[in-house]
Amino acid sequence: MISDLPRDVTEEVLSRLEVTSLGGVRSTCKKWNSLTKDDDFIKKHLGKNQGRKVVMLLDFKVYLMSVDLLTPPSIERIGKLVSLNHKDPAPAPADGVEISNIFHCDGLLLCITKGSQLVVWNPYSGKTRWIEPRDSYNRFYRYALGYSEKTNCSLSRSYKVLRFVDLYDPSLKRHVREFELYSFNSNSWKVIDVNPDWRIGFYQRGVSLKGNTYWFAEEKLVGVAPGTEISDLRDFLLCFDFTKERFGRHLPLPFHSFGDHSLPPYTVKIWISSKIEPNAVSWNNLFLTVDMNPLTGFLFLDNGGSFFVDEEEEVAVVLDKARSKFCFTHNIACIIGKNGYFKQLDLGGGPNHIPLVSSYVPTSVDIM
């Protein structure tokens, strides 16, 4: 029987499978289930599946995508990662639940369903952890997934979910301010005391790095002198430190997002930081400057703009919506580079939901 093969042969065969096939492998027998969760196997699996893998949210479904930016570039679906059924406790995906937003950290995905439920999912192990909110859901909530750790060992990491809202809710006719933190260890929420002098747009997803999350933030309009122009308000990066459980200081940006008249109106600039920590950042690398006017005639959506860069190929991949004269039509990926390099790939789908992309590296972290 194939399950009786020597371990080295079994590892060689199974390590060639895609991540999305491992759920079926684990259900075959206990031996394979244990083998595919072993750290040595994971390293071999990553080695056999070289190339960039990303996670994309397209039309309320989450897919693992293989990205090849060499000529001709391609972005292909490897498999659907998320199609969860809350009523079924089994870890195997099942049709039924649509996802409205995703947040990545350390190989784990925090998914917000269209039904306003929260689930953390490890695509590699196939395990899920549904999280019950402390109170009712607000459509303006922002989320982040992160961890605190006492050492550099991944086994010591304590995973947490941040959920917050701070704005006037027209449906409730009052200002709503709530900041709370969920701990995987205690399986409970707690309120954290935050009195922000900043605002984070509801469409800002943040980026996870070393367990913390960074957002583009802006100075609040409250208390601003009459006659002050929006272009005079400060913008900056803001980090939530999951170890200290608090927001850091305002981190300077290498640009000003409003009123930069030194650039043509359709110009996209991408900077890469040389150092970033919760309370410090350095910028010395202007990665890319592209005038989109001769390429597409429009800028990327300001409430989307989900993107990633390939420093080796010196290109950026930005997810967006194709436009007709009167409406959006389908999902696209725009590959932009130096000297006017531009390629557009059709990702399919419908006109409504903004496509999103996140990095992805498989992990064996147990979230149960």
Domain at 183, CATH number:
2.120.10
Instruction: Assess if residue 294 is contained within a domain.
Output: yes
90 and 14 together in one domain:
no
366 found inside a domain? no
Q: pLDDT at position 309, please?
A: 92
Residues 189 and 124 in one domain: yes
Q: Contact at 8 Å (CB) between 52 and 89?
A: no
Query: What's the pLDDT score for residue 342?
Result: 94
Residues facing residue 165 across a β-bridge: 178
pLDDT (tens digit per residue) in 35-51: 666 666 665 555 455 56
pLDDT band at 168 (very low <50, low <70, confident <90, very high): confident
| pLDDT band at 277; cut points 50, 70, 90 | very high
Distance, in Å, from the CA atom of 209 to the CA atom of 289, rounded to the nearest integer, reads 24
Q: Which of 64-73, 82-91, 255-264 has the highest mean pLDDT?
A: 64-73
- What per-residue confidence (pLDDT) applies to 344? 94
pTM of this structure? 0.82
Q: Is residue 152 part of a domain?
A: yes
CA geometry: angle 90, 16, 25, nearest 5 deg:
25
Q: Is a pLDDT exceeding 50 seen at residue 88?
A: no
Verify that 26 and 56 share a domain, yes or no.
no
Q: Considering 50, 71, 90, which residue would you say is the last residue of a domain?
A: 50
227 within domain boundaries = yes
Cα–Cα distance measured from residue 58 to residue 243, given in angstroms and rounded to the nearest whole number:
32
pLDDT in tens, 41-84: 665 555 455 568 899 999 888 888 889 988 789 999 887 765 45
Range of the domain at 223: 51-359
pLDDT of 208: 94
| Mean pLDDT (the chain, rounded) | 80
Distance CA 14, CA 22 (A): 8
Residues 31 and 99 in one domain: no
Output the CA–CA distances (angstroms, integers) from residue 226 to 196, 220, 279, 323, in the order listed: 21, 13, 31, 38
By C-alpha distance, which of 317, 307, 314 is closest to 344? 317
Least confident piece of the model among 37-51, 218-232, 341-355: 37-51
Residue indicated by tokens 């359709």: 266
User: Hey, what are 231's tokens?
Assistant: 């272009």
Res 26: pLDDT: 62
Phi, psi of 34 (to 5 degrees): -70, -40
Residues 24 and 11 in one domain: yes
Verify that 26 and 108 share a domain, yes or no. Answer: no
Q: Is residue 224 part of a domain?
A: yes
- Same-domain check for residues 40 and 63: no
My answer on whether 61 and 97 are in the same domain is yes
For residues 173 and 322, membership in a common domain is answered with yes
If asked whether residues 89 and 5 sit together in one domain, one would say no
Whether 62 is covered by a domain: the verdict is yes
Specify whether 205 is located in the same domain as 58. yes
Percent of the chain surpassing pLDDT 90: 35
Q: Is 332 a domain residue?
A: yes
Find the range with the poorest average confidence among 107-121, 142-156, 221-235.
221-235
Q: What is the pLDDT of residue 89?
A: 41
Of 74, 68, 53, 57, the closest CA to residue 344 belongs to: 74
Which of 30, 50, 70 is the C-terminal boundary of a domain? 50
pLDDT of residue 305: 65
CA dihedral 92→98→101→105, nearest 10 degrees, is: 0
- Our count of domains for the chain comes to 2
Residue 78 located in a structural domain: yes
Confidence at residue 230, expressed as pLDDT on a 0 to 100 scale: 55
Task: Specify whether 44 is located in the same domain as 60.
Answer: no
Most confident of 38-47, 80-89, 237-246, 303-312: 237-246
Q: Say if CB 332 and CB 323 are below 8 A apart.
A: no
Q: Which residues contact 323 (CB under 8 A, 6 or more apart)?
A: 298, 329
The pLDDT assigned to 264 comes to 74
